[in-house]
Amino acid sequence: MKVAVVGATGLVGRKMLQVLEERDFPVTEFIPVASERSAGKEIVFKGKTYRISGMEQAVEARPRVAIFSAGGNVSLEWAPRFAAAGTTVVDNSSAWRMDPAKKLIIPEINAHLLTREDKIIANPNCSTIQMLVAIAPLHERYGIRRVVVSTYQSITGTGVRAVRQMEAERAGNDSIAERAYPHPIDRNCLPQCDVFTDDGYTKEEMKLVNETRKILDDSIRVSATAVRVPVVGGHSESINLEFARDFDLDEVREILRAAPGVVLQDDPARGVYPMPILANDRDEVFVGRLRRDFSRDNSLNLWVVSDNLRKGAATNAIQIAEYLHANGLLTD
């Protein structure tokens, strides 16, 4: 099992190495790949030091699977070249998500759609992943008509520059050269994740809309507001669901307890509810604060938290690779 990780030196790339090792994915030959300026540097995986490869060298090595986390432009240029060489690509960028010819996969929901012919597979946006893992089993039971979601997103979703900016601000250093955000992030909330579109929404908000419809049901109406907060442990989401049918709260809890990848933390009287500090470095999606919305029929409020670098990126991608391997869908 020859495995390449493209973007191995970034925040998500390094998390991919950690998750590959923790989950004991059957790597027999490891190829870390990064930009040309990083090629030749060294990185450690499973206690062994590897020299970082450039893109051309990695394509020529013909890995069975390549897990990408190097940005959309890199994926658009290089994923087809890996695929043409016989490699199955799992891409973490937004490059292929809305391509009608590419599958957008959350293993707990729709991995069964994958075939050997799928050579470029899209990993959804981190916010979409955690929301849909939580609400997909409820959609199956009650039929979701509408979703209103507000996200409280960790700075790690922006990358290492954002972490450095917040750390510098907390240290009282306002002269940091490389800023990830146009405003201070420490002790602040920014109602902007990604760039704004012409309709006033951000690209992050529209990812929640479009990816939900592609993965779950194109009839679901979604309204999203995405906010960046000074947190490093994971993303949080306040979600309001309107169902086609009425529901019983106890049954909702039982559905969530049984849902794959979900941990129910719903005992507010004892202070038990999901928080990023508890989700940090975990693979599960945590759900709590379940309560009926009395302002609208058949409507439910819930609070969902997950580590955006793990389930929201690295772990979901590696779970896709695990499914492909377990079901004989990787080209020999």
CA atoms within 13 A on the CB side of 275: 6
Q: Tell me the C-alpha to C-alpha distance, in Å, between residue 30 and each of 43, 55, 87.
A: 11, 14, 14
The residue with tokens 């039929």 is: 143
Reference 36, options 57, 60, 15, 59; nearest CA is: 57
Torsion angle defined by CA atoms of residues 78, 82, 85 and 87, in that order, rounded to the nearest 10 degrees: -170
Annotated active-site residue in 112, 139, 183, 235: 235
| Interatomic CA distance for residues 135 and 142, integer angstroms | 10
Active site residue 325: no
159 — alpha (psi -120 to 50), left (phi > 0) or beta? Answer: left
**Full DSSP string of 126-193:** HHHHHHHHHHHHHHHHH-EEEEEEEEEE-GGGT-HHHHHHHHHHHTT----S--SSSS--TT--BS-S
Annotated active-site residue in 126, 183, 189, 325: 126
| Interatomic CA distance for residues 87 and 64, integer angstroms | 5
Active site residue 126: yes
Residues 216 and 109 sit within 8 Å (Cβ to Cβ): yes
Residues 12 and 90 sit within 8 Å (Cβ to Cβ): no
Active site positions, annotated:
126, 235
